[in-house]
Structure 1
Amino acid sequence: MLEVFSNWYKQKFSDPASVALLLFLLATFAVFVFWGEMLAPVLVAIVVAYLLEWPVSKLVRTGLGRTWATTLILILFTGLSALALVGLLPVVWRQAINLLIELPQIWSEAQIWLSSLPDKYPGFLVQSDINNALKGVNERVVGLGEDIISASFSSIVSIVALLIYLILVPLMVFFMLKDKHELLTNISNIMPRDRRLVKQVSLEMNSQIINYIRGKVLEILIVGTMSTITFALMDLRYSLLLGVLVGFSVLIPYIGAAVVTFPVAAVALFQWGVTPPFWYLMVAYGIIQALDGNLIVPILFSEAVSLHPVYIIIAVLFFGGLWGFWGVFFAIPLATLVKALLNAWSGSNESIQSQEPAKLTEQV
C-alpha cells in the first residue's frame, strides 16, 4: 500500500510546478477554513469587483482613465442598488410579515386537509401515522419559532455587521478595480517562480468565475422578474416575495427549485384550494422552471465548463457544508476548479513523460 502511494506521489508531483500548485491550493483552503467568516466582506468585494470589471474595462478602452471609470461605474452601481432596495425591500418586508402572521392559519388548514386523507384513501393511509407525523412537525415548528425569537435578540449584531459591509465593501471594490494590475503584480511576486500550472489554472478559473458571476446575477434578475410578473398577473398573494424567493432559488442548482416550490404551492393552495386557478399557477411556474433550465441557463452559461448534475449536487452539498451561503454560491466554480486541477496535474504528468525521451536523446 505504501509503495502504491509512493509511486502515485512520484508520478503526480515530480514536477515542481505541481508541488507549487498543491501548496498554493492548500494555503488558500486553509485561509478560508480558519478565517472565512472574518474575510466574508473581502469575498463580497471580490464578487462585486468581478461583476463590475467588464463595464470598467469597456470605459477604459474608450480612453477614460481607470480611476475615473471605476468611480463612475461604482457610483452607478451603488445608486441602482439603493433604488432597488428602497423600492423593493419595504414591499418584500411587508409581505413577509403578513405571510408570517398567516402561517398558523395556513398550517391549521393544511393539518385539516392531511387529516382527511385517510378517509379518502383508506387503503393507503392510516390516521395514526398522519397524527404522529403532524405531531413531529408541530414540535419542529415550535423549536423553529424559539430559534427565531432568540435570533431577534442578536439583531443588533447583524445591524452592526451590515453597516461594516456598507462601508468596507464599496471601499475594497473601488481599490480592487482601480489598482487591479498593481494588486495582481503584488500577488504574483509572492508566488513561487515555477508557477506554470498555477497560472494555467488561474487563467482558466478567472474566465469561468467571471462568466459564472455575471450569468448568475442575470439569471436571478430574469427568473425573479418573470416569476413576479406571472404571480402578479394571476393575482397570487405575496407575488413579489415569492418572485424574489424563486429568483434567489437559482443560486442552488436543482435543490433550490425543488425547495421554493413548497411555499409557492402552499400560498396558492391557501388562496384558491385545489381549483383550476391553482393548477394554472403551477403550470405557469413549471414553464418558468423549464425555460430557466432549457433556455436561460444554456444561453447565460454557454462558456462554462459542462458538469454532470450529480457532480453539481455533490459540490453544492460539500462546499455549502464548509462555507454556507458562499460555498453554495461558488459551488459550480469550485467544482470547475477541481476539474481544472485534475486536468492540470494530468497534463503535467504527460508533459514530464514526453520530456524524458528527449532528455535521454540529448544525453546520448
Structure 2
Amino acid sequence: MKKVLSTWFQRYLSQPEAIILLIVFIVAIVAFKTIGGVLAPIIVGIILAYLLFGMVKKLQQWRFPHLLAVSVVFTLFVSLVLLLFLYLLPLLWEEMASLISDIPTAFNRGQIWLFSLHDQFPDLISVNQIHQVMMYVATYLANFGKEFVTFSLTSLFGVVTVIVYLVLVPLLVFFFLRDGKIIIKWLMQFLPEKREVLEKVWHELYKKISSYIRGKIIEVVLVALITVIAFWILGLRYAVLLGALVGLSVVIPYIGVAVVTVPIVIVGLIQWGWSEHFFYLMLVYTIISIFDANVLVPILFAEVMNLHPLAIILAVLLFGSLFGFWGVFFAIPLMALVNVVIEAWPKEN
C-alpha cells in the first residue's frame, strides 16, 4: 500500500505546478465556503466587468482613449441597471402581488374543477379524496402565507446589505474595467516563471467560462422574451412573471425546466381548465423548451457542452451544495474546468 501511494504521489504531485494547482483549488474552495458572502460582490463585479470589456476594446479600436471608453461603457451599464429596477422589477412585483391576491379565487375554482371531475368520473375520484386534497392545499397555503410574511419581515434586515451591494458592485465594475490589466499583471508576479500548465488551464477556463456566461445571458433573455410574447398572445395571466421564470429556469439545466413547469400548469388549469386553450399553452411551452434545448443550447454552448447529461446533473448537485446559487449557475463550466485540469495535470511518465 505504501509503495502504491508513493508511486501515485511521484506521478501526480512531484512537480511544482501540480502542487500550485492543488493549493489554488483548496484555497478557492475554503474561501468560497468561509467568506463566500464577502466575495460575492467581487465575483459579480469581475463577471460584469468581463462582459463589458469587449465593448471597451471596441471603442478603443475606434480611437477612444481608455478612460473615455470605460466611462462610456460604464454609463450605459448603469443606465441599463436603472431601467431594469425602474420598469421591469415593478412590473414583476405587480404581477406577483396580483397572483397572491388571486389565490383564494384560484382555490375556489380548483375546488369546483375537482368536483366536476367527480361528476364525470365518480368511480375514480371520491368526494372524500377531494376533501383531503383541498384540506392539504389549504394547509399548504396557510403555511406558505406565514413563511411569506416571515420572509418579508426578515428581508427588511437585508435591505441595507442590498443597498450596499447596489453601490459597491458598480464601483467594482468601474475599477475592474479601468485597472483590470494592472491587477492581472500584479497577480502574475506571485506565480512561478515556469507555468505552462497553469497558463493552459487558465486559457481553457477563461474561454469556457466566458463563452458560458455570455451564452447563458443571451439564452435567458431570448427564452424569457419569446415565452412572454407567446403567453401574452395566448392570453395567459401573469405572462410576464411566468415568462421571466421560464427564462431564469434555463440557469439550472434540466431541473429548472421541471420546477417551472408546475406553476405554468397550475395557472393554465385554473384559468382554462381541461380546454383547448390549455392544450395550446402546453404545446407552445413544449415547443419553446425543445427550441431552447435543440437550437439555442448547441449554438450558444458548443465549446462547453461536450458533457454527458448525467455529468451535468451531478455537477449541478455537487457545486450547488458547495457554493449555493453560484455553484448552480457555473456548474457546467466548473465541470468542464475539472475535465481540463485532469487532462492538463502535470505528471511523471
TM-score between the two structures when normalised by the length of structure 2: 0.92
Alpha-carbon offset, residue 46 of structure 1: 1.5
User: Measured at CA, do residues 290 and 121 of structure 1 come closer, stay the same or move farther in structure 2, by a change above 3 Å?
Assistant: farther
The equivalent of 1:262 in structure 2 is 262
Any conservation in 2 of the 1:228–1:243 contact (CA below 8 Å)?
A: yes
Any conservation in 1 of the 2:212–2:301 contact (CA below 8 Å)?
A: yes
How many equivalent pairs are there? 348
Structure 2: gaps (5+ residues) = none
The equivalent of 2:245 in structure 1 is 245
Matches within 5 A, 1:347-358: 348-349=346-347, 352-353=348-349
The equivalent of 2:273 in structure 1 is 273
C-alpha distance in 2, partners of 1:289/1:143? 32
1:36 alignment partner, SS class: helix
Matches within 5 A, 1:13-162: 13-110=13-110, 113=113, 120=121, 122=123, 138-162=138-162
C-alpha distance in 2, partners of 1:115/1:320? 42
C-alpha distance in 2, partners of 1:109/1:214? 43
2:199 alignment partner, SS class: helix
The equivalent of 1:319 in structure 2 is 319
Any conservation in 1 of the 2:305–2:332 contact (CA below 8 Å)?
A: no
Any conservation in 2 of the 1:50–1:213 contact (CA below 8 Å)?
A: no
Alpha-carbon offset, residue 246 of structure 1: 0.8
143-152 vs 272-281, which moves further: 143-152
Structure 1: gaps (5+ residues) = 354-364
C-alpha distance in 1, partners of 2:153/2:176? 35
The equivalent of 2:212 in structure 1 is 212
77-86 vs 203-212, which moves further: 77-86
1:190 alignment partner, SS class: coil
Any conservation in 2 of the 1:46–1:173 contact (CA below 8 Å)?
A: yes
C-alpha distance in 2, partners of 1:93/1:200? 45
C-alpha distance in 2, partners of 1:141/1:130? 16
Alpha-carbon offset, residue 4 of structure 1: 3.1
User: Measured at CA, do residues 111 and 185 of structure 1 come closer, stay the same or move farther in structure 2, by a change above 3 Å?
Assistant: farther
Per-residue deviation, residues 3-36 of structure 1 (Å, max 9, x unmatched)? 4333322221122211111111111111111100
The equivalent of 2:301 in structure 1 is 301
C-alpha distance in 2, partners of 1:327/1:79? 29
**Matched letter for residue 317 of structure 1:** L
C-alpha distance in 1, partners of 2:288/2:90? 26
Alpha-carbon offset, residue 281 of structure 1: 1.1
**Matched letter for residue 230 of structure 1:** A
The equivalent of 1:341 in structure 2 is 341
**Matched letter for residue 98 of structure 2:** N
C-alpha distance in 2, partners of 1:94/1:236? 16
142-151 vs 181-190, which moves further: 142-151
**Matched letter for residue 68 of structure 1:** L
Per-residue deviation, residues 83-103 of structure 1 (Å, max 9, x unmatched)? 233222222111100101112
C-alpha distance in 2, partners of 1:114/1:198? 62
1:289 alignment partner, SS class: helix
Any conservation in 1 of the 2:228–2:243 contact (CA below 8 Å)?
A: yes
**Matched letter for residue 280 of structure 1:** Y
Alpha-carbon offset, residue 115 of structure 1: 6.9
**Matched letter for residue 171 of structure 2:** L
56-65 vs 30-39, which moves further: 56-65
**Matched letter for residue 257 of structure 1:** V
User: Measured at CA, do residues 2 and 274 of structure 1 come closer, stay the same or move farther in structure 2, by a change above 3 Å?
Assistant: farther
**Matched letter for residue 21 of structure 2:** L
